[in-house]
Amino acid sequence: MNARQSSQKGRGPTDIDLANYAKAYMAAYMSAVQSESPEHIPQFYKNHPYGVEVCYMPNGSFCMLFERAERPTIAVSGQEWDYVMGKIMSGVFYLATVYSHEGASVEDASSRGRRDAIRDIRAMESSDIVDATRQLENIVRELSDVNQWMKNPVKMADSALARLEPLKQTIARSGPIMDKMSMVDGLRRYSTGPSEMKLDSDGIEMLSSVVKQMTDLSELLRDVKLQGEKLEEIENHLRTEVHDFKIELDKKIAKGLGVILSTTDRKIDKAFASIQPSQQEDESDDSLDDLYSEVNSLREAVDQLNAEEKDDTDERLAALSDEVLSLKDAISNIKVPMIEPPVMPEPKIPAELLIGMRDVRGEVGQINLRVKRIEEYLTALSAARRSSNR
């Protein structure tokens, strides 16, 4: 069975794919060794070129057998396990095994070649053979010193033999870095999963149900996304509307407060004007001065009295004036010793004036109450605006 037949049966790599894999593997290996520049170069790098035989195995994996050659060659074939075991028993210089799941592309070959090169370099640096080689180099350097050998040849020979004995045991204990037989055995025991999955009617029905549920779930997620976008648009619109409403509300509040304050100022001015004293003074009688001040402060209330009451009051005042004049004339005609002047009774304020004064005071109290309510409203409004601005 050749590699092409096997690849067509298992849908694996073709002969050209395997040949390209081998080329890329060797190129990546050599490039990695050159870039690392190790002190001890791996044997695979020293002994190229190679003749490479790529064997495609029944389980879809393949192995590469490297033999020293005068010029590089690559051969691809489909083989059985016994053939590969026989080649290893007869002796191959280098072996690389590739499992089917590792891939057979050029990129996979480059990665694998570089990884194997780094592995071989680290193995050379940490192996006992490297230490033995270094000791052997030192011994050879000492043996090349002729002067020491001329002075005491027996001592130099005994020392060299004593130092070469551990090297002999080290070389005897050392074996191949890789166990090629175990590598091929592991490759043979590798089993790939089934290429096709057979389903009965229940399995097909279950898969159909799963597909339907996934479709419904995707539609639900799409609807949720659309709803989220709509909610975001509504939120932005409401935010804009609330902002505009706050601006309009502030304007209306400012305008309404202006109207209220102007109206209140007019009413307060009117009230104070109605109770403002006339600033008239009477130097003859202190009690009449207080009365006249109170009467002048209630000037607007007195003006609202009817004409008849006003005429009656004027007549009464005129009669009193006439009586006072007649009394003065009578007193001036009577000659009596020094006597105390008669006590003048305190004039009484008419009841109509008292009623007018109470009305004016009531109106002033109502105005004060309204002013207090306006102050409370303005305080609450300013507190609400400060909390909303925060």
Query: Average model confidence (pLDDT) for the chain?
Result: 72
| Weakest-pLDDT range from 84-98, 335-349, 376-390 | 335-349
Above pLDDT 90, what percent of the chain?
9
Is the pLDDT at 312 greater than 60? The verdict is no
Is the pLDDT at 172 greater than 80? The verdict is no
Per-residue confidence (pLDDT) for residue 28, from 0 to 100: 93
Q: What is the mean pLDDT of residues 251-277?
A: 68
Q: What is the mean pLDDT of residues 360-375?
A: 72
Per-residue confidence (pLDDT) for residue 167, from 0 to 100: 57
Per-residue confidence (pLDDT) for residue 40, from 0 to 100: 76
Q: What is the mean pLDDT of residues 230-259?
A: 80
Instruction: List, for residues 117-161, the tens digit of each pLDDT value.
Output: 888 888 776 655 556 666 666 666 666 555 555 666 666 666 666
Asked whether the CA dihedral 128, 133, 134, 138 is positive or negative, the reply is: positive
Q: What is the mean pLDDT of residues 56-83?
A: 89
Is the pLDDT at 8 greater than 50? The verdict is no
Per-residue confidence (pLDDT) for residue 272, from 0 to 100: 61
Per-residue confidence (pLDDT) for residue 30, from 0 to 100: 92
Instruction: List, for residues 28-45, the tens digit of each pLDDT value.
Output: 999 999 998 887 788 888
Above pLDDT 70, what percent of the chain?
55
Work out the pLDDT band at 234, boundaries 50, 70, 90: confident
